[in-house]
A and B are shown apart, each in its own frame.
Chain A
């Protein structure tokens, strides 16, 4: 404090400056922010408009899914896995079924394996198209791209409804197979949708790839190095955008994926643009897998008859099974003590772990970029909070 009056003032004339100079302004973004894709909060410390610190806060949707899983039967958790990542219930079902099958050593019939691949890839279409729409919406392209994307998503959801009775909460897979066979005419409908999909993709890609605003908003934003991505356990398109060739479908070859020919698209820069384009390229590969699986779908049973799915009691032991979900590696870790409910039921949620590096990616960028970076990670709060 200057208590002596004029003398010091003469020596050092006051600068034109704000009271808050050099101080960080702490603001809380969310949990009701429209771009946080649910109830997700970020404590952000800002220097002007630039992010200097960012701490994600979540758990608003926490219902202790794992505890509920430990208190119910093995089959009882199956419909509840739909609610983890509510965009991709089919892949959630598959990951859980795969882990239980590993735990108990169950074989799956051929036709069921093909159905699983078809449905998982359809789920990837649903997830990636809606992500593209949401991400553009985050960038300010309100309405139109999202509606274009949702139009396509809706067609696939109609397929899910025709098959399982529900658009989003499908509860379709069972240990050792699937719940029901295809209704008549389903395959023709699915083929029409898959055949028509490239038209939408071409149109959408034209809409976004050469768009100047989109390029300005996404290139060189939220860069993620391959080393950090590996160490932080980032999986899915976010990892591959940084140039790491790691796809569980190729590495583990679970199900019947080794039979299909598909490529794993890789990015170079690891910025938001790469992550966005990764989804577009993966959509095209998924369409290829869908064509191959639909052509080769055999006749036969869809459920292993030896498995008692209702009074299901696997032998004592533990198993960790994982699949390549649309958002990344989705794993289930189960410990059985020989009773009808798991002793430990753990979900390895990809979006939860992909959030680990949110702060690293946002530092030095503006607030407006934070939303785009968060959107490109692709989180679903039902899975993050569990």
Chain B
């Protein structure tokens, strides 16, 4: 199995203009990954599949990850003039990292029996219609898995032959695997609302019309 650096260099040579980046994985599993750019993702994927020494013909796993916006607080020493004297003061600075959605593919080779090579695609932001190129034309096994990513994360895969919801029903509107997903405040499925749920239900539904006296009839 060739190293990831070598794969990156060869892919960049084979696909002109491709910009790849190695994302290192700090854990003991040591599975670093390759970040593809959108414009050349399909060409690089074809190269990975067809290259005679790599032959990554088997896309085992395709999945999405939602990374939220995050601010990292850092303590930095800054020199400042305090009462005419220059002093070193500790200050906390906040650095903002915008969130993004990610699609991850785990590639193996059935011909050469090696792997995995992990490939990533990232959206620029977490918008409702975040777009990524589909890799289904290269690996058929991504067909249902990309549909699942679309269903649960809301990434639209361009070039996918049949992008529909797969696990949730078609009328469902939100994307439940996103980290900021909130369950709809909808208690119509609670047959006998009580306590907190009754209070919430009251805010959401108009009061029921009074019954026509039938409730007063007792046995």
Q: Which of A190-239 contact B (CB under 8 A)?
A: 228, 230-235
Q: Which of A343-371 contact B (CB under 8 A)?
A: 343-344, 346, 348, 352-353, 355-357
Q: How many pairs of A and B residues are in contact by the CB < 8 Å rule?
A: 109
What per-residue 1/0 map shows which CB atoms of A38-62 lie under 8 Å from chain B? 0000000000000000000011001
Contact: B141 with A64, CB < 8 Å? no
Residue of A nearest to B142 (CB): A233
Does A336 sit at the interface, judged by CB under 8 A? yes
What per-residue 1/0 map shows which CB atoms of B140-154 lie under 8 Å from chain A? 111111001000100
Does B31 sit at the interface, judged by CB under 8 A? yes
Does A251 sit at the interface, judged by CB under 8 A? yes
Chain A hits for B139, CB < 8 A: 231, 233
Contact: A315 with B60, CB < 8 Å? no
Additional pairs, 15, CB under 8 Å, beyond known A62-B167, A231-B141: A59-B166, A67-B176, A67-B177, A103-B28, A234-B141, A235-B60, A315-B27, A319-B31, A322-B60, A333-B104, A333-B106, A346-B61, A348-B60, A353-B145, A356-B140
Does A331 sit at the interface, judged by CB under 8 A? yes
Does B206 sit at the interface, judged by CB under 8 A? no
**Total number of B residues with any Cβ neighbor in A under 8 Å:** 35
A343, B179: Cα distance in complex, Å: 9
Contact: A317 with B141, CB < 8 Å? no
Q: Which of B134-190 contact A (CB under 8 A)?
A: 139-145, 148, 152, 165-169, 176-177
Does A102 sit at the interface, judged by CB under 8 A? yes
Report whether over half of chain B's contact residues are helix, strand or loop; otherwise say mixed. Answer: loop
Residue of A nearest to B57 (CB): A230
Contact: A318 with B29, CB < 8 Å? yes
Which 4 A-B residue pairings sit nearest by Cβ, starting from the closest?
A317-B27, A233-B141, A105-B28, A319-B29
Distance in Å from the Cβ of A55 to the closest Cβ of chain B? 8
Chain B hits for A343, CB < 8 A: 65
Task: Choose among A317, A329, A336, A355 the residue with the greatest number of B CB atoms under 10 Å from its CB.
Answer: A317
Task: Choose among A233, A315, A346, A352 the residue with the greatest number of B CB atoms under 10 Å from its CB.
Answer: A233
| With A58-B166, A246-B113, A331-B106: A317-B28 Cβ-Cβ less than 8 Å | yes
Chain A hits for B141, CB < 8 A: 231-234, 353, 356
Does A320 sit at the interface, judged by CB under 8 A? yes
Contact: A317 with B143, CB < 8 Å? no
Contact: A318 with B60, CB < 8 Å? no
Does B63 sit at the interface, judged by CB under 8 A? yes
| With A233-B139, A331-B60: A385-B27 Cβ-Cβ less than 8 Å | no
| With A59-B169, A62-B168, A356-B143: A231-B57 Cβ-Cβ less than 8 Å | yes
| With A315-B26, A316-B27, A346-B61: A352-B177 Cβ-Cβ less than 8 Å | no
Contact: A244 with B110, CB < 8 Å? yes
| With A318-B27, A319-B31, A336-B27: A385-B167 Cβ-Cβ less than 8 Å | yes
Distance in Å from the Cβ of B104 to the closest Cβ of chain A? 7
